[in-house]
Amino acid sequence: MSDVAPKSQRKSQIEEAQLVNVVLRYFKLAGVAVGVWLSGYLNFSPSWILFGLILYVWKERQGQRKKLQIEIRQDTARDEQKAILARVEDLPSWVHFPEVERAEWFNKILDQIWPFIGGYVKELLTNSIQPKIQASHAQMASFVFTKIDLGDIPPRIGGVKVYTKNVRRDEIYMDLDIIYSSDCDLMVKLKGMNMGIKDLQIRGTMRVILKPLISRMPLFGGLSVFFLNNPSIDFNLKGIADAFDLPGLREMVEDIIAEQIANIMVLPNRIAVPMIEGLNLSLLKYPPPEGVLRIYMIEARNLVSADVALLGKGKSDPYAVLKFGPEKFKTKVINNSVNPEWNEVFETIIDCKDAQVIDLEIRDEDPGSKDDKIGTAAIDISSSASNGTLDTWLPLENVKKGDVHIKLVWMYLANDPIVLEKTMKQVDTSTELATCVLMVNLDSAKDLPRMRKQIAEPSPYVVLSLGPKMFETEEKPNTDSPVWEKPFRFLVHNPQIQKLDLQILDKKNPKESLGDLTIPLKSLLSAPDMTLDQNFSLKNSGLDSKINMRLCLRILTTENNPAWRSEGTILNTNSSSVDPPAAQKEGTTSPDSAQKSKVEPAKTTASGVDPVIKKVEVTQINAAKPEGQVIPPASSGGPNTVTSTEVRQRKTKSSPVPAESDAKGAFGRGRIQLTFRYSAQRQKLVVVVHKCQNLLPCDSDNLADPYVKMYLLPDKSSSGKRKTQVVKNNLDPVFDETFEFSLKQEEIADRDLELTIRNDTKFFSSNIKVMGVVTIDLSKMDISKAATEWFDLHPEDSDDAEKPVSVESDV
């Protein structure tokens, strides 16, 4: 009976809410009618009525679309099987990945305890969060939660992937597909204004790390939780906040909420919970990064024309935006161009290269209105990390045409001061590229002074600056011994001359300082392990005023040395309450510390250009050949490893690299180098056309203008056609272009990939048009992992029967 009463009470509340919505809608329509009558009575321009009508229709359509999306997600949360059978979109991750398991048992437990979680959250918000918000600022003193209802739909775990390979024996890595399609209703009141959100929607991949494993309960020493990439967020606004549900304003609100979530638990931020005493929480919460990625935004070509021109073709005013966790980079705007050249470089610190992606958007600037999106792409980090350098063209998605030219350079972190001289020589002095990374763990301060004529204790916060970069901590109210426990990271151009400046200010009187400190970075170069972990005496402060920090300097280099990659000890060995971590498996590495064992040198193509990359799957880790791994570069020399793969094609033989004797292939028409990979999560077949060698001369000057055209048979429609750019006057063209085909995994066995190398000629030209053909039976290939192979070209009219042949791959 105790469960029936709340359900019947909630049902009556829903019926009352529906009645209120009907009454409100009636008055809204009546108000519109009165407004139209008044505009005519007062002789207002009809343009105002038209503008209001357009705004009303737009808002109604947006509301209906969002309502449908919310209903679909809520239906999936209530009964996943029924919703999937009714609609096969937005499937959970376990549908796509055989290694991702369902977690229905956990979802059932969560559904059972959700009402009790709702009561706990309500008490937490009212008794803990609300007072903190009220005390945070004088303007927030009247803040109160007026309604807290988490609804009936709990979060769901769409799938769980537990990593059993390439992890240490003393740690567990899990990726959870979080789906929260709630019917929650939260209302707050501030200065007499009511506002709130409802129908909150969150989806993302959350990583859970349990380490170190110990031999007593609770069997693991610590827990860390974080989102690998920014989760997708959607919601509806209520009250006065509903006024922001307009074009431009809504995006601003969504960006603010997403930024706050990213600052809490999107890498590099994470939530860490110690489970035992003696745990080094700083290493659990703030592990060292894996490296630094340099992103060269070079140019774009063939962009769509977003601006309409009265005469001639329209143009665009393109610029690029790169989003990576809480960070965002933006290039300059190139006016009136569909082939812009930016030639800008950005640097970002990478924490987990095998799971994080960089989202790229090309936008058209429209002053006075929302900028149009004219293409997107996803930049995979793991490929540049494994190959060292990647220089390629990426096709833009969600548009009819357009490519963007990027270059990625991966930098490792070294703790050897000798490496600095070499790194300084490689960096152009005219640029502000970094040579080092400074990691600052700001712990606490003690015995801070009180300001003159001030009895109360200060409310200190810290401002740290190095070069143009500046960070500010949160305020710690009414204390002379604040504890922040915050990490900060700076990219350093020249540690020989640069300094870290730190100043402690009082929020009650920010014009006067509580103390300051300047640390020359060159002092870290001579420190043990280039690290200082100590109490620093403050200047212009009290006699005993100190601040506790850990400073760690690492030098950027393109070389990889496993000796540079020590994570430190997460357990304090002098503590009797903990057990030492288990030994690491021989030859295995952690997903967050890739390539600690044997690391091969970076490989590039003969032209120095690496292959194209696409979006990495968020569930992968640093396995030797994980699902979703990007395509390795084409090699101009012999392969490092050789595997055997069966491929059926017309009299086609291939080898990893053609020797001079057989470089023209079995038919004397040359060879083509390709890479294949299938992304199960995105259901895409990825094909990279690297290059051709010794093609057939077609023109009078014994050259040709080759390009590659391909079809995924049996589909030969224009929508299924893919084509590379034309390379002029070349019999050994290098393309390095990536193409994608939407293809379900079960359809692969019934498909062939046909590639035709053609000569770009005029319509009435008598020159040879078809230079060679390759047909590949995908059912005979293992495309679950990237494989790079050479294929002989045969004549278009070859009647030889197709037969399986053994092909050596470059992977």
Q: What is the pLDDT of residues 266-291, one digit of tens each?
A: 887 888 888 888 787 777 777 888 89
CA dist 376 and 322 (Å) reads: 10
What pTM, to 2 d.p., does this model score?
Answer: 0.59
pLDDT at 569 (0 to 100):
57
CA dist 756 and 19 (Å) reads: 66
pLDDT at 264 (0 to 100):
76
Percentage of the chain surpassing pLDDT 90? 17
The residue among 592 and 790 whose pLDDT is bigger is: 790
Angle formed at CA 115 by CA 112 and CA 119, multiple of 5 degrees: 145
pLDDT at 170 (0 to 100):
86
Mean pLDDT for the stretch of residues 759-778: 82
Q: What does residue 70 show for φ and ψ, rounded to 5 degrees?
A: -65, -40
Q: Quickly tell me which residue has 């070389």 as its tokens.
A: 559
Give whole-number Cα distances, 27 to 24, 243, 608, 775, 808, in Å: 5, 17, 68, 67, 74
Give whole-number Cα distances, 757 to 269, 395, 474, 717, in Å: 49, 20, 61, 18
Mean pLDDT across the chain: 76
| 548 Cβ contact partners less than 8 Å away, ≥ 6 residues apart | 443, 444, 445, 446, 534, 535, 536
Residues of the chain by 3-state class (helix, strand, coil), percent to 5: 25, 35, 40
Which segments within 240-290 are labelled E, that is strand? 271-274
pLDDT at 549 (0 to 100):
93
CA 370 to mean position of chain CA atoms: 24
92 preceded by a cis bond (ω within 30 of 0): no
Mean pLDDT for the stretch of residues 628-646: 35
Percentage of the chain surpassing pLDDT 70? 73
pLDDT at 757 (0 to 100):
92
CA dist 480 and 13 (Å) reads: 50
The residue among 8 and 403 whose pLDDT is bigger is: 403
Q: Which residues pair with 759 in a beta bridge?
A: 706
591 preceded by a cis bond (ω within 30 of 0): no
What is the per-residue DSSP string for 180-232? EE---EEEEEETTEEEEEEEEEEEEEEEEEE-SB-SSTTSBSEEEEEESSPPE
**Least confident stretch, 412-421, 619-628, 773-782, 785-794:** 619-628
Model confidence at 237, pLDDT cuts 50, 70, 90, reads confident
Q: State yes or no: pLDDT of 24 exceeds 60.
A: yes
CA dist 632 and 610 (Å) reads: 8
To 10 degrees, what angle do helices 46-78 and 4-41 make?
170
Q: What does residue 480 show for φ and ψ, rounded to 5 degrees?
A: -100, 5
CA dist 811 and 643 (Å) reads: 7
Q: Quickly tell me which residue has 């590229």 as its tokens.
A: 433
Give the residue from 669, 672, 631, 634 showing the smallest Cα distance to 654: 672
Mean pLDDT for the stretch of residues 470-485: 88
Q: State yes or no: pLDDT of 442 exceeds 70.
A: yes
pLDDT at 500 (0 to 100):
95
pLDDT at 713 (0 to 100):
85
Model confidence at 407, pLDDT cuts 50, 70, 90, reads very high
Q: State yes or no: pLDDT of 728 exceeds 60.
A: yes
Structure tokens at 360: 């790229």
Q: Quickly tell me which residue has 């506790």 as its tokens.
A: 548
Q: State yes or no: pLDDT of 707 exceeds 90.
A: yes
Q: State yes or no: pLDDT of 739 exceeds 70.
A: yes
Mean pLDDT for the stretch of residues 341-349: 92
Model confidence at 19, pLDDT cuts 50, 70, 90, reads low
CA dist 788 and 603 (Å) reads: 13
Distance between terminal CA atoms of the chain? 64
Dihedral sign (CA 162, 164, 170, 173) = negative
Give whole-number Cα distances, 259 to 180, 263, 289, 634, in Å: 18, 6, 21, 39
CA dist 122 and 134 (Å) reads: 17
CA dist 134 and 328 (Å) reads: 31
Structure tokens at 397: 């998605």
Model confidence at 662, pLDDT cuts 50, 70, 90, reads low
Q: State yes or no: pLDDT of 651 exceeds 70.
A: no
CA dist 501 and 485 (Å) reads: 18
Mean pLDDT for the stretch of residues 488-506: 93
Q: What single DSSP character describes residue 449?
A: P
Which strand (E) or helix (H) includes residue 522? helix 522-525
Mean pLDDT for the stretch of residues 74-100: 58
Mean pLDDT for the stretch of residues 153-172: 84
Range among 89-93, 157-161, 330-334 rated most confident: 330-334
pLDDT in tens, 545-592: 999 999 999 999 988 887 776 555 555 544 444 444 443 433 333 444
pLDDT at 124 (0 to 100):
81
Q: State yes or no: pLDDT of 642 exceeds 50.
A: no
**Least confident stretch, 170-179, 308-317, 462-471:** 308-317
The residue among 785 and 751 whose pLDDT is bigger is: 751
What is the per-residue DSSP string for 45-88? -HHHHHHHHHHHHHHHHHHHHHHHHHHHHHHHHH-HHHHHHH--
Q: State yes or no: pLDDT of 231 exceeds 80.
A: yes
Structure-derived torsion over alpha carbons of residues 572, 576, 579, 580, reported in degrees to the nearest 10? 40
Q: State yes or no: pLDDT of 161 exceeds 80.
A: yes
Mean pLDDT for the stretch of residues 333-353: 90
Residues in the chain, overall count: 811
Q: Give yes or no for a contact between 694 and 673, defined as CB atoms under 8 angstroms apart.
A: no
Mean pLDDT for the stretch of residues 415-419: 89
Q: SS3 letters for 535-571? A: EEECECCCCCCEEEEEEEEEEEECCCCHHHCCCCCCE
pLDDT at 624 (0 to 100):
34
Enumerate the H helices of 464-510 as residue ranges. Answer: none
Instruction: Give residue 453's identity as a one-letter amino acid code.
Output: K
